[in-house]
């Protein structure tokens, strides 16, 4: 069995955007089918990267490319409004059928406070893989140099995928 990676459009992303959410666009996707083996290797995880990762010739190659692309640090850009971070995500959900998803940014410190969230568009509720591009800024609550746990949470409050990164 293979899993299609759905694509969302900018209007779809903006229709769900909250005032404090900066969804730039859900970017161009490597519109390829991912095998069960690739999905299983990353189930419950979010891969943050600089850009979309093209699938490899075989499952082993795709898994290696995704692991190599995973960012431990997301480097920001200074603007007049403060620091801004842009990244691509590939979320491998624990289960399909989610009708609403939010990406929560939780401080990696001992206090574990949620500091921001981004609404994630779901172009296909039956998919267990979602990809897109996000932008978030200091004005939304993130602090430069801090570590955050990124939790993809569904409408029931279940964490369906997560990762962590330092936002530099």
CA distance 106 to 117: 9
Q: Which domain holds residue 36?
A: 2-167
Q: What is the pLDDT of residue 34?
A: 85
Q: How far is the C-alpha of 150 from the C-alpha of 162, rounded, in Å?
A: 5
Tokens standing for residue 72: 């431990």
Determine the 3-state secondary structure of 97 from DSSP: coil
Model pLDDT, residue 134: 94
Classify residue 154 as exposed, middle or buried by CB count within 10 Å of its CB (0-12, 13-18, 19+): buried
Looking at the structure of the chain, the number of domains it has is 1
The per-residue pLDDT for 3 is 53
CB 87 within 8 A of CB 46: no
Question: Could you tell me where the beta strands, DSSP code E, fall in 23-155?
Answer: 33-35, 45-49, 73-74, 77-79, 82-92, 101-107, 114-120, 129-137, 146-154
Tell me what pLDDT residue 31 has. 39
pLDDT on residue 81:
83
The whole-number pLDDT of residue 23 equals: 37
pLDDT in tens, the chain (168 residues): 545 454 443 333 333 333 333 333 333 334 357 889 999 999 999 999 999 999 999 999 999 999 999 999 999 999 988 999 999 999 999 998 988 999 999 997 667 889 999 999 988 889 999 999 999 999 999 999 999 999 999 999 999 999 999 999
pTM score: 0.79
């Amino acid at each position: 069995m293979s899993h299609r990676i759905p694509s969302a459009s900018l209007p779809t992303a903006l229709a769900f955007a909250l005032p404090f959410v900066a969804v730039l666009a859900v970017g161009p996707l490597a519109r390829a089918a991912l095998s069960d083996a690739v999905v299983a290797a990353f189930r419950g995880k979010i891969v943050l990267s600089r850009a979309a990762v093209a699938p490899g010739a075989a499952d082993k190659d795709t898994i290696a490319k995704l692991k190599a692309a995973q960012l431990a640090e997301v480097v920001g850009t200074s603007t007049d409004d403060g620091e801004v971070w842009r990244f691509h995500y590939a979320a491998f959900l624990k289960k399909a059928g989610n009708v609403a998803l939010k990406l929560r940014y939780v401080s990696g410190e001992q206090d574990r406070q949620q500091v921001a969230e981004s609404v994630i568009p779901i172009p296909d509720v039956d998919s267990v893989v979602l990809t897109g591009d996000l932008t978030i800024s200091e004005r939304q609550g993130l602090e430069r140099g801090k570590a955050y746990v990124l939790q993809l949470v569904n409408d029931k409050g279940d964490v369906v995928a997560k990762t962590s990164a330092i936002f530099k």
